[in-house]
């Protein structure tokens, strides 16, 4: 136990408080990236399956979907088809509003990744400057400066800069990758909203035509049979 404590003390003396913060930030970035990847993959996979049912007409234009439990992209299309398309000609603006509302957690996670990629090098630089100040202060207390001690102190101080860049570069790469997927979701939401409106419009035309044919034949349309009472 004492061996491990001594190792931890040595590591802390080497990386300082800035290094400890960078370790915490690195774990936070890893968690956000992993969650975003899993969530976006699941959303996209379920969306392709659900929208295929829509195009086949199996869900009767989203009538059987619970908007509280549905896929976020399906919820957007559901709101567009059932509400917003009836009183707005600017479908893109409506989709953008609904997209931001349904993907707020994803948007916040991307903002955190961007913030981490920016502050990590600054934290590393802060740790380096703080370490350099400590090195020069310790050298000022001795009468004869030793180049070996100076080099060792500078090397230790630069470790936090390396840590900061090590955290920032992968985080920034992951941020841009996830942002591209996120923008792709927005484009798909717009395109599939137009397609869903067209699919449901065709369904309504077919229903009206079927009702008209049944009425012309002297029968009752299928949807009114339940409302009639037998005399």
pLDDT in tens, 50-85: 776 666 655 555 665 666 667 888 888 888 877 765
Burial class (CB in 10 A: 0-12, 13-18, 19+), 53: middle
* CA–CA gap between residue 132 and residue 126 (Å, rounded): 10
Asked if residue 218 is part of any domain, the answer here is: no
pLDDT for the residue 171: 96
Per-residue pLDDT, averaged over 205-229, amounts to 57
Asked if residue 230 is part of any domain, the answer here is: no
Asked if residue 16 is part of any domain, the answer here is: no
Residues 6+ apart with CB under 8 A from 40: 106, 178, 181, 182, 185
Q: Is pLDDT above 80 for 180?
A: yes
Asked if residue 57 is part of any domain, the answer here is: yes
Q: Is pLDDT above 60 for 220?
A: no
pLDDT for the residue 63: 61
* CA–CA gap between residue 108 and residue 173 (Å, rounded): 17
Band of pLDDT at residue 231, cut at 50, 70 and 90: very low
Band of pLDDT at residue 170, cut at 50, 70 and 90: very high
Asked if residue 15 is part of any domain, the answer here is: no
Burial class (CB in 10 A: 0-12, 13-18, 19+), 188: middle
pTM confidence score: 0.74
Percentage of residues in the chain with pLDDT exceeding 70?
65
Asked if residue 82 is part of any domain, the answer here is: yes
Q: Which domain holds residue 103?
A: 21-205
Number of domains in the chain: 1
Token code pair at residue 138: 């310790």
Q: Is pLDDT above 50 for 229?
A: no
List pLDDT tens digits, range 73-127: 888 888 887 776 565 567 888 888 889 889 999 999 999 999 999 999 999 898 8
Token code pair at residue 134: 């400590």
* CA–CA gap between residue 212 and residue 171 (Å, rounded): 60
Asked if residue 56 is part of any domain, the answer here is: yes
Phi, psi angle pair for 68, to nearest 5°: -75, -25
pLDDT for the residue 71: 82
Asked if residue 14 is part of any domain, the answer here is: no
List pLDDT tens digits, range 2-50: 445 556 666 666 677 788 889 999 999 999 999 999 999 999 888 887 7
Band of pLDDT at residue 136, cut at 50, 70 and 90: confident
């Amino acid at each position: 136990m004492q061996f491990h404590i001594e190792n931890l003390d040595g590591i802390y003396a080497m990386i300082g408080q800035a290094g400890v913060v960078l370790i915490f930030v690195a774990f936070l970035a890893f968690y956000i990236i992993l969650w975003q990847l899993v969530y976006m993959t699941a959303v996209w996979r379920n969306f392709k399956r659900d929208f295929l049912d829509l195009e086949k007409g199996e869900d009767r234009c989203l009538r059987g979907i619970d908007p509280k439990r549905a896929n976020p992209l399906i919820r957007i299309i559901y709101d567009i088809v059932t509400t917003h398309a009836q009183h707005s000609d600017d479908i893109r603006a409506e989709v953008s509003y609904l997209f931001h509302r349904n993907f707020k957690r994803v948007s916040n996670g991307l903002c955190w990744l961007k913030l981490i990629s920016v502050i990590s090098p600054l934290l590393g630089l802060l740790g380096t400057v703080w370490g350099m100040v400590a090195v020069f202060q310790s050298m000022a207390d001795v009468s004869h400066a030793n180049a070996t001690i100076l080099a060792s102190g500078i090397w230790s101080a630069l470790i936090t800069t390396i840590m900061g860049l090590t955290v920032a570069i992968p985080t920034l790469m992951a941020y841009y990758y996830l942002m591209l997927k996120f923008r792709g979701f927005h484009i798909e939401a717009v395109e599939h909203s137009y397609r869903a409106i067209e699919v449901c419009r065709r369904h309504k035309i077919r229903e009206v035509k079927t009702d008209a044919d049944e009425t012309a034949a002297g029968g009752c349309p299928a949807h009114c049979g339940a409302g009639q009472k037998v005399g």
